[in-house]
Structure 1
């Protein structure tokens, strides 16, 4: 027989009900403990009784299939429902194996014969865990003696109260009163060890009054169950003790066991460790299993599909009919019950109903639940009070700081751009806001309709576990270290390019899905971060001038390496500018014009990208126009008239250079991209992974552009024409670096071309983004949806020189002086950029910046320098431009490594040449090399001990020689004195 069927959709559930005579459904949750306990029993029943189209067993996860659970009125887990011909005929709440087995056996009998009716088989209502059910065919046994005792007690109480003046007092003191206080008896001898939990209960029983109110009914029942246990057998006592051990582990609630039960408990398991707390029975975890609040009669619900692909519940008001208006008015006119009355009525928890196996456990768990609610309420009140006090203190401190730091905040706000928020413009200097690298908020969200939803729909065709396995195989293992996102701790061992580039010619179906899931999200985050910075530095005119032209075809963009993520990011930036122009009435239409092209080598990947990249041209490889490029000198195939070539206003070269191992390959790719770039203001963006090798690839592109493609800035002379190779170099033209560099000289972190061994400092940036659900599962972390992608980049504009032609040292001096009170605004591309997060200390902030002079310096901004500059420095981020100056500056040493290991060539070019000295000692020739390099081999422990002994012996020899010299000198002095004395006597 087959096992239970796991319901995955509403359609599958309806199909099962309509196609099967009897359906036994288990409504469960993954976090439910009782659900896990009874699950094996349910599976055994399913394997034993399942029959196609007759009996089926179904498991419904209430968290995933909330609509099915809500339709069937499921409020507690586990809940078992039995359906006959699509109609629910039995409900069992809680993990009760016996009740479930009995109900399943009855339900199976319904499937065998069509003549039976469900009402005849299921005569009793639904059962709840802990409730007993009388066996069929047996009535309640008659207790004759008990009945006679009750009749005698009633007659005696009636006669006693009838012939007395104070009927209440006479009935209380009557011998027929079963709750009369007994005569005082000597206290029992205390047992060894801790005081039994039942001793307190005995005292309470002796002191209880004759008649109780309805409010004390639950405690009376709990005490009477204890009293009844005194006459129980040894087997019953042992059962109670074992159930208490199973439920409460090594703890016991106060007053749970009587003296006999506690004695057996102590003999079997030893004394309990402590009194039971709510955490010991899982109440904090399952405290939210209460029943649902009834929905108002004038409110309805609808299910609407969300952007993430799930369903959300939407409420709406049902307009009252004419006949119902008077009824509603009459209901509102009725007085409401007092709040105190409502508070005293407390519904029992569904978790207690599902777990409790007898009235005693129910009462104990109910008390623990009440204690938990009381403690939770007190904790909430304390947190609210503490938060209120903290907010008041922060508000007072903020008001004082505002008065000290921003006395002229209204003037600064008046000069700020209208795009900035009022709060930020009042707290920050306008130049600080203009120099920010990250937008507000810092974390970006991936577009749902343009990127996340299409990828999720494509991945739904394949099991996500298979996609994760393929992504780990393609991108370097767990955490996808060779994807655009590099996890922390995996940078040193994975310094190559991306593992699965989009221009790869052959991809399997699962590899194409792995590319969508593991490559596009971090690639989009890095590209959109760079595009925002480029737009901020070039201004809106860079885009608007092309869009405002009459009959303009818009801007053309080439995505070479981002696999379509660059086009999605560009659409977000372009659409924002287009909407602003449309609001101003300058342009018409909902979509901006333009041409989009993406490099995609695999047909399988291209078919997937076509589903959400509309109006896009797909190329299998990067176009090559080197045969007709404009070179210095004559070319055999060029001719007099150059051929027309395709050009792009924006080229996003993502992860193209690091995968090329040879420098001349990188040179060829760069020549090709530069040829495709529009000569009149085209922008080239180069992005690589954030590790030393990725930075060196970007720095090599920057160095090549400055030396071979772009005219020098600040009036510097270019290289002579005769030194250039016509077949390799192009004619230099205007252009400048947009970001991140503010200098056009040698990069301070890339002074020597090539790889550097042991590089510690390199230029890179980061962008925080919200991870989609499928990408989080690719990384193997299903709880954290916040990610940070790190990258190195450079953006260059062709055909337009830098506006400010000041020398680098001059721009650095002006930036160090600060523009806080300057009447002239600074050129943001001449300000120093932070290359590390700011170091915040008490009273000052230290900024590590790359200056326009081409140096890495450490600027210090103390509070005494400027309160506004100090405030903005503390709130600055890694990658921002700094315009408010500093008080001190020092040069910061850069750890660029030792360079490539060249096999000793550097030592050969040293000042001292290597010489070999040949000597003859005892008829043997020996050769000793002078100025030779010392071996860098580390010494072992024994060698170090030998060297230490040699040093000690040498020191002792030197000390003995000094002592001998001193003694010889003293002896010599004595001889000279004696000689002088002898001469004097003569």
Structure 2
């Protein structure tokens, strides 16, 4: 009885909700023999100091952002767009888009199948399921299918790149943006999530795609939203003010020839006042498009341009220009997970609500590469980049990285190197910049790239 009365007196008092009352076992057993004043009440002080296990540099170099989800206004606008269409036609057109993308994924090899080593029967069997490389023209049906079946994956890739730029380059605050090959405006919506833009221009050759972009923009536009102008052609005015941020996402592969690609990239660079972002599919062809565009600009500008990401150098890419490069087997690309909206799950007839978007990219900025200083931001420009997922072994981590000397190197971080470097290596993921040097000997997997001009 005394125990219950004592608990009632304690609980009815105005104690702070952030404190706890602890009684020893002996005190609980003697509650009937003691009074409240005889109880020993101790206040436990909680140390608010944060215990850091990994390094700050490794956290800064991390590229992962988790699963990307489309903004709800954008999802709703696409859902409204899909509701007014025939669902079976949308799926049929989306499958045609997927076939076209798969058919142009790999770099064609100049080999003669009829060289006497393979029979005609084996060749017919091997090529029976292969779709001839082709591209799709975007009409009204294809434009809607693109928004319903392709836009989420492209949005995820652009979002990852924009997040990396905003977190790594503190002095980059763009006010204007040009999105070349805008499609339904994917890159514009992704950039708006990370930058305070005052003017956006989207350029696309397809009138039907621009019509879809305008419809999406009208449905999610708010009273104080950034004005977006969509047009078919890129007007070049030497006297006009250049654009702070120029983006060309998943468009280089749609250009028919290398000469036209080079001309387009050079015009985009002329329009760039600060930073140019080139993104393409994470396939051997998409990778080669991005790397060649990167090299064109660096050859043209020299020391007046540098690579912000992903390369820690301005030398020719070893995965394409090195004598031992095999771009169909090993190429630089990255992955970003995206949550599939309902309309995408229905378009693909899939029960899984996530998918991985593979992409290759390069971010170029005017001016020389920042010199290494005491700040983490300047040091990150010189950290090697993981081009593949690390191999986590028993007691050591194996990482293939793109190094500052323009080579693909294999680093091994053993447990004996220290707690912090080893933990950073354990937590490192594909695409991260790694700040520690290797204790063990570094092995060169692919040598430095050499261009034809050299």
> TM-score interval w.r.t. the shorter chain?
0.7 to 0.9
Q: Which has the larger radius of gyration?
A: 1
**Alpha-carbon spacing, 1:597–1:824, altered in 2? closer, same or farther (3 Å):** closer
> Partners in 2 of 1:651 and 1:448 — Cα distance?
25
Matches within 5 A, 1:444-523: 444-449=68-73, 451-476=74-99, 481=102, 499=136, 504=138, 507-508=139-140, 510-523=141-154
TM (norm. structure 2) is 0.75
**Alpha-carbon spacing, 1:603–1:703, altered in 2? closer, same or farther (3 Å):** closer
1:429 — aligned with what? Answer: 55
2:369 — aligned with what? Answer: 802
Kindly report the root-mean-square deviation, in angstroms, between the aligned alpha carbons of the 2 structures.
Answer: 3.1
> Partners in 2 of 1:866 and 1:663 — Cα distance?
48
1:767 — aligned with what? Answer: 336
1:764 Cα deviation (Å)?
0.6
> Partners in 1 of 2:380 and 2:208 — Cα distance?
44
2:165 — aligned with what? Answer: 534
> Partners in 1 of 2:409 and 2:210 — Cα distance?
47
**Alpha-carbon spacing, 1:824–1:464, altered in 2? closer, same or farther (3 Å):** closer
1:675 Cα deviation (Å)?
1.4
1:894 Cα deviation (Å)?
3.7
2:281 — aligned with what? Answer: 689
Alpha-carbon contact 1:831-1:882 (below 8 Å) kept:
yes
Matches within 5 A, 1:728-739: 734-739=304-309
Alpha-carbon contact 1:858-1:892 (below 8 Å) kept:
yes
2:269 — aligned with what? Answer: 674
Q: Deviations over 1:395-431 (max 9, x none)?
A: xxxxxxxxxxxxxxx9xx97xxxxxxx6xx7332111
In structure 2, stretches of 5+ residues that fail to align are 1-46, 106-128, 222-226
Q: Higher helix fraction: Structure 1 or Structure 2?
A: 1
Question: Is 1:867 aligned with 2:414?
Answer: no
1:667 Cα deviation (Å)?
1.5
Question: Is 1:655 aligned with 2:223?
Answer: no
> Partners in 2 of 1:769 and 1:709 — Cα distance?
36
> Partners in 2 of 1:498 and 1:438 — Cα distance?
32
1:18 — aligned with what? Answer: none
Matches within 5 A, 1:548-697: 555-563=175-183, 564-574=185-195, 592=196, 594-613=198-217, 614=221, 615-624=227-236, 643-678=238-273, 682-697=274-289
> Partners in 2 of 1:621 and 1:516 — Cα distance?
21
1:496 Cα deviation (Å)?
6.3
Secondary structure at 1:557 match in 2 = strand
**Alpha-carbon spacing, 1:593–1:841, altered in 2? closer, same or farther (3 Å):** closer
Secondary structure at 2:194 match in 1 = helix
> Partners in 2 of 1:573 and 1:482 — Cα distance?
34
Alpha-carbon contact 2:408-2:447 (below 8 Å) kept:
no
2:311 — aligned with what? Answer: 741
Secondary structure at 2:210 match in 1 = helix
In structure 1, stretches of 5+ residues that fail to align are 1-409, 415-421, 485-491, 547-554, 575-591, 626-642, 712-733, 807-822, 900-986
Secondary structure at 2:362 match in 1 = strand
1:698 — aligned with what? Answer: 290
1:114 — aligned with what? Answer: none
1:778 Cα deviation (Å)?
2.2
> Partners in 2 of 1:469 and 1:683 — Cα distance?
38
Secondary structure at 2:417 match in 1 = coil
1:752 Cα deviation (Å)?
5.4
**Alpha-carbon spacing, 1:748–1:594, altered in 2? closer, same or farther (3 Å):** same
> Partners in 2 of 1:741 and 1:772 — Cα distance?
33
2:360 — aligned with what? Answer: 792
Q: Deviations over 1:837-889 (max 9, x none)?
A: 11001111111111111111111111111112111211110010111222113
Q: Deviations over 1:563-592 (max 9, x none)?
A: 201010011102xxxxxxxxxxxxxxxxx5
**Alpha-carbon spacing, 1:443–1:750, altered in 2? closer, same or farther (3 Å):** same
Alpha-carbon contact 1:436-1:880 (below 8 Å) kept:
yes
**Alpha-carbon spacing, 1:617–1:758, altered in 2? closer, same or farther (3 Å):** closer
**Alpha-carbon spacing, 1:514–1:561, altered in 2? closer, same or farther (3 Å):** same
Q: Which runs of 4+ in 1 moved over 6 A?
A: 492-498
Alpha-carbon contact 1:476-1:499 (below 8 Å) kept:
no
**Alpha-carbon spacing, 1:699–1:620, altered in 2? closer, same or farther (3 Å):** same
TM (norm. structure 1) is 0.36
1:832 counterpart (384, 397, 400): 384
1:842 — aligned with what? Answer: 394
1:780 Cα deviation (Å)?
2.8
